[in-house]
Structure 1
Amino acid sequence: MMLVEETTVPLAALPVTEFKAHLRLGSGFAEDSVQDAVLESFLRAAMAAIEARTGKILIEREFSWTLSRWRDVTGQVLPVAPVSAIASVVLIDRGEVETVLDSAVYRLVPDLQRPRISPVGTLLPQVPSGGSVRVGLLAGYGPEWSDLPADLAQAVLLLAAHYYEYRHDTGLSSGCMPFGVTSLLERYRTVRIFAGSL
């Protein structure tokens, strides 16, 4: 199983101005934008950490997900949430020949925790022996920062500020996350009670 981010978060969607206000950085100076690249990198790092912790994609972008077989042919849970569209499903045989499935044979079952791709009929199409299936999907709360739930947006700012404040401290290698951030993320974490299945 392999999840690949096909598009990245555009710079315009990052809340650099809000982050500066959160950090209480001075404004009105000629050098106001001198730290923008550094602030952008901390925002991206914080978003990546929160997405990894919660399985939720914050800013909308495209992904491709490749797997060698369906875990459940009556409906496959997708690896991230929320998912707003399934762009394509491609069966790939052992000779790397690709067959794009008609979108009439599958559908997206939206869910904020566990979205699924389900068959329109009884079962999802069979994955070729020795081959794979690639699912293209559009995931995220929306294309703009304002589309995020307020608590997730606050968690990003808090974690990015933590990274900013401790940017020279190499003793934080254990990957700690501040309590305020973890408490904001708790309700978004997926509880896995499915014996290892997705």
Structure 2
Amino acid sequence: MRSISMMLVEETEVPQGALPVDVFKAHLRLGSGFAEDNVQDAVLESYLRAAIAAVEARTGKVLIEREFSWSLSHWRDASGQALPVAPVSAVASVTLVDRAGGETVVNPARYVLRPDMQRPRLCPVSGLLPVIAGGGMVRLRFLAGYGPEWSDLPADLAQAVLLLAAHYYEYRHETALSGRCMPFGVSSLLERFRTFAGCMS
């Protein structure tokens, strides 16, 4: 089997307004009602972003809705290509890129998104997905995530993010530990959301 060259790019980041800073403060039991209430907001946001990234990497799930592009050198299965993350709500475009860099946008009538919480797929309406020229690639742009708001997340994933962000906060002076360690309680919450490698073939 030929090896597939792939690259996933996050085109938009988690909006600041979608980060549950106040919820995180309550989780940490930080004091309130003081003039300095917001002094740690930037730091807390950084821990939330780090925790979201770690949870997404562990599960293959995109938490807060945003745009991605995914390039690959050939289809693993031209009758239906599994997408690299879930959930995916819309495919914005499919573009064939030839060896010289020329681009051809595929007519959306030729493909359809088959949503799935574990393994969304891009499928042809009939026949097979369009041929990728030798030395070329295909680039997909899509929207992924449970929704645009923190409240759209499943409760277990939201709790896992808060627990992990709190762990980073607690061990903020021990960089060797906080950067790699996933507490057991967080791992337990994430287990049922993980997409196993065999599901992405």
The TM-score, its normalising length taken from structure 2, stands at: 0.95
The 5-angstrom pairing of residues 4-153 of structure 1 reads 4-153=9-158
Return structure 1 stretches of 4+ with deviation > 6 angstroms: none
Alpha-carbon deviations, 1:63-109, whole Å to 9, x = none? Answer: 00000000000000000000000000000001101000110000000
Shift of 1:119: 0.3
Partner amino acid for 2:145? Answer: G
**Structure 1: where are the runs of 5+ without partners?**
none
- Secondary structure of the residue aligned to 2:138 is strand
**Whole-Å separation in 1 of the counterparts to 2:105 and 2:98:** 12
CA distance in 1, matches of 2:198, 2:133: 29
Q: Does residue 165 of structure 2 align to residue 160 of structure 1?
A: yes
Residue identity matched to 2:69:
S
The residue type equivalent to 1:90 in the other structure is T
Q: Report the Cα distance in structure 2 between the residues aligned to 1:34 and 1:178, rounded to whole angstroms.
A: 27
Structure 1 pair 39/85, CA: closer, same or farther in 2 (3 Å)?
A: same
CA distance in 1 between partners of 2:35 and 2:179 (Å): 38
Does the 8 Å CA contact 2:167/2:178 hold for their aligned counterparts? no
SS of aligned partner of 1:172: helix
CA separation in 1, counterparts of 2:103 and 2:175?
Answer: 46
2:95, 2:106 within 8 Å by CA — same for their partners in 1? yes
For residues 161-180 of structure 1, what are the structure 2 equivalents within 5 Å? Answer: 161-172=166-177, 175-180=180-185
Figure out how many residues of one structure are paired with residues of the other and give that number: 196
Q: What is the Cα deviation at residue 174 of structure 1?
A: 7.4
> Separation in 1 of the partners of 2:10 and 2:104?
22
Instruction: Determine the C-alpha separation between the residues in 2 that align with 1:189 and 1:121.
Output: 31
Question: Unmatched 5+ residue regions in structure 2?
Answer: 1-5
Q: Which amino acid aligns with 1:80?
A: V
RMSD: 1.1
TM-score (norm 1): 0.96
Q: CA 1:8 to 1:174, structure 2 compared with 1: closer, same or farther past 3 Å?
A: closer
